[in-house]
Amino acid sequence: MNAETGCDAQQARLFTVSPLRTSLNFYSLGRTQEESARLVSAMRRIDAVTEMFDVEYPDWSFGYGTVQHDALPVFFQPVAILRMRLGSGLPVVRDDRSFTAIGAEIHLYDDCVAILFVEWATDVDACPREDFDSALTGATKSLFRRHVLGCLETMQEALSRDDTALKVLRARDEFSVFTPLHALPDAPDWTARSVLVTGGPETAVMLSGKLGGLPPVPEEFDGARAWVGSGNSLFAVTSGRLEAFTQDWMRCMSLCQFYATLLSRYQAMLLGDLRLMENAGDREIKKTILRTLERKLDHLDFIRLQHERALYGLQGIRRPLCRYIHEAWESALQFGNVEGWAAFLRKQIDRYYRRRQLAQTRILKSIVAAIGSFSLFDLFLVLRHESDEQEDGGLPGILDIFAGHSADTVLYGALAILLFLMLITYLNEK
């Protein structure tokens, strides 16, 4: 999205940013450039995709070299970028309000996540401030449902039958933390709104004034100032290089939205696992829950390590800008909350294993007690038999205890001793 179009073209740009669910789950850890190239080629062979989108590699520089490079791990690199062909613009009507999309692109990531960027014409003066957020969010949903959703569904079906693509895609029946869906949701997870202006907010006051929930004090960067809230953000480019800053902003926002989406989905996923753990029986926990839960927790650690690597791999203004966006969104607190749920689940797993260990210990003790009981009965019977055959030698001995007692009396005595020992064991366990 390089064109700066609209009534205030050289002074302001208006974007919405929306995370999406996809059914594309990639082998990011071991994916090579050749495999990524085969995947992009497979996408380009799908007519329904190429009719509306240009399928491209990320036109970002990765690795080290200049400040335009970002040494991102493969997991935090988009696999492909789908740029929508909109020509002179695509009108979108939502609740009697009309918006014009002048650019759109989709960044495809691992773990069934994609980020949709839509640039809108800035002639939105007729939309009042109190309705601006909901109207623009609704317009983004309408564009997604009418022009993006069907294309994504067609693409995932076509890739599932393409042998070259399957070498990069995880199969549906293979384990993955985020399981691919057969039916995609008909709306993005959420929609954020961003305005980028040259000079300061006063240069595009009609547009920047529509954004609510911004912090009162901006964050200063080299050639830019930023006001970032939870859903709205405003960036004032003081260097006059709006296009260059837009590219840096998009790369940062794509990474931050991908990370925020993973955290949000992990919160919901771990809460669902917790409910299953509380209501499921031991057999169900062993067969269905633990099989995937421990790997989900391992994948969460993997995300943390990859994200740390991505943050220190950013270059130029993107490094402080990305950190500021994370601070404004309280990303560290979000991850801490996810780790708290993970720790809670780990405690549940530990309790489950302790219950299993105690149950196994009780079973073993019961087996040993049964063997000991039979041995005790046998010993008493042998002693009773020996006492009958013993000749009276005038010396008292242990066999004299059983002399003169019937076999039933000896058995009852053995049983009483056994019950006494079992009572002591039970009280000790309790």
Q: Residues for the chain: how many in total?
A: 430
pLDDT of residue 263: 95
Count up the domains in the chain and report the number: 2
The residue among 334 and 161 whose pLDDT is bigger is 334
Question: What's the pLDDT band for 219 if we cut at 50, 70, 90?
Answer: very high
* Residue 63 token pair: 């690795």
Would you call 134 exposed, middle or buried from its count of C-beta atoms within 10 A (0-12, 13-18, 19+)?
middle
For the ranges 121-130, 144-153, 401-410, the one whose mean pLDDT is highest: 144-153
Question: What's the pLDDT band for 388 if we cut at 50, 70, 90?
Answer: low
For the ranges 150-164, 276-290, 316-330, the one whose mean pLDDT is highest: 316-330
Where helices occur in 160-241 by DSSP H, the ranges are 163-166, 205-208
Q: How close are the terminal C-alpha atoms of the chain, in Å?
A: 70
Q: ∠ at Cα 271 (266, 276), nearest 5°?
A: 125
Residue 262 to residue 370: CA distance in whole angstroms: 54
pLDDT of residue 162: 80
Q: Answer yes or no: do 235 and 375 share one domain.
A: no
Q: Where are the beta strands (DSSP E) in 199-315?
A: 219-221, 224-228, 232-237
pLDDT of residue 267: 92
Q: Answer yes or no: do 46 and 176 share one domain.
A: yes
Q: What is the mean pLDDT of the chain?
A: 82
Q: Which of 51-60, 166-175, 287-296, 388-397 has the lowest mean pLDDT?
A: 388-397
Q: Which of 72-86, 163-177, 293-307, 312-326 has the lowest mean pLDDT?
A: 163-177
Question: Mean pLDDT throughout 187-202?
Answer: 90
pLDDT of residue 8: 39
How many C-beta neighbours within 10 Å does residue 55 have? 21
Percent of all residues in the chain with a pLDDT value above 70, rounded to a whole number: 80
Name the pTM for this structure. 0.81
Question: What's the pLDDT band for 3 if we cut at 50, 70, 90?
Answer: very low
- Do 206 and 14 form a contact (C-beta atoms < 8 A)? no
Determine the 3-state secondary structure of 196 from DSSP: strand
- Per-position b or e across 317-351, b if 16+ CB within 10 A of its CB: bbbbbbbbbbebbebeebbeebbebbeebeebbee
Q: What is the DSSP string of 71-85?
A: ---GGGS-SEEEEE-
Q: Which of 187-196, 302-311, 363-372 has the lowest mean pLDDT?
A: 363-372
Tell me the residue type at 181: L
The residue among 237 and 289 whose pLDDT is bigger is 237
Find, among 196, 216, 223, the residue nearest to 207 by Cα.
Answer: 196
Does the residue 291 lie in any domain? no
Tell me the residue type at 376: L
Find, among 140, 206, 192, the residue nearest to 8 by Cα.
Answer: 206
Does the residue 153 lie in any domain? yes
Q: How many Å separate Cα 314 from the centre of its chain?
A: 22
Position 306 pLDDT exceeds 70: yes
Number of helical (H) and strand (E) elements in the chain, helices listed first: 12, 12
The residue among 170 and 108 whose pLDDT is bigger is 108
Residue 155 to residue 169: CA distance in whole angstroms: 13
Question: Mean pLDDT throughout 210-225?
Answer: 89
Position 29 pLDDT exceeds 80: no
Position 351 pLDDT exceeds 60: yes
Q: Which of 61-70, 110-119, 191-200, 376-385 has the lowest mean pLDDT?
A: 376-385
Does the residue 271 lie in any domain? no
CB within 8 A of 270, min separation 6: which ones?
296, 338, 341, 342, 345
The residue among 279 and 220 whose pLDDT is bigger is 220
Q: Which domain covers residue 93, as residue numbers?
A: 12-242
pLDDT of residue 2: 54
Q: Which of 167-181, 265-279, 416-430 has the lowest mean pLDDT?
A: 167-181
Sign of CA dihedral 170, 175, 178, 183: positive
Position 253 pLDDT exceeds 90: yes
Does the residue 106 lie in any domain? yes
The residue among 252 and 281 whose pLDDT is bigger is 252
Strand partners, 420: none
Please say which residue of 216, 242, 268 terminates a domain: 242
How many C-beta neighbours within 10 Å does residue 382 have? 11
Does the residue 163 lie in any domain? yes
pLDDT of residue 338: 92
Strand partners, 197: 12, 236
- Do 76 and 307 form a contact (C-beta atoms < 8 A)? yes
Q: What are phi and psi of 154, to 5 degrees?
A: -65, -40
Does the residue 303 lie in any domain? no
Strand partners, 226: 219, 235
pLDDT of residue 5: 39
Over residues 105-114, the pLDDT tens digits come to 999 998 889 9
CB within 8 A of 418, min separation 6: which ones?
373, 376
- Do 210 and 201 form a contact (C-beta atoms < 8 A)? no
Question: Mean pLDDT throughout 321-350?
Answer: 91
Over residues 88-143, the pLDDT tens digits come to 889 998 777 888 999 999 999 988 899 999 999 987 766 778 888 898 999 999 99
Please say which residue of 242, 269, 286 terminates a domain: 242
Does the residue 343 lie in any domain? no
Tell me the residue type at 12: A
Please say which residue of 198, 219, 242 terminates a domain: 242
The residue among 398 and 226 whose pLDDT is bigger is 226
Residue 162 to residue 154: CA distance in whole angstroms: 13
Q: What are phi and psi of 192, to 5 degrees?
A: -105, 155
pLDDT of residue 34: 80
Does the residue 312 lie in any domain? no
* Residue 37 token pair: 């190239």
pLDDT of residue 247: 94
Question: What's the pLDDT band for 177 if we cut at 50, 70, 90?
Answer: low
pLDDT of residue 4: 42
pLDDT of residue 206: 72
Q: Answer yes or no: do 222 and 365 share one domain.
A: no
CB within 8 A of 265, min separation 6: which ones?
178
Q: Answer yes or no: do 238 and 361 share one domain.
A: no
Most distant pair of Cα atoms in the chain: their distance: 124
* Residue 21 token pair: 């669910």
Percent of all residues in the chain with a pLDDT value above 90, rounded to a whole number: 38
pLDDT of residue 84: 94
pLDDT of residue 424: 72
112: left (phi over 0), alpha (psi -120 to 50) or beta: left
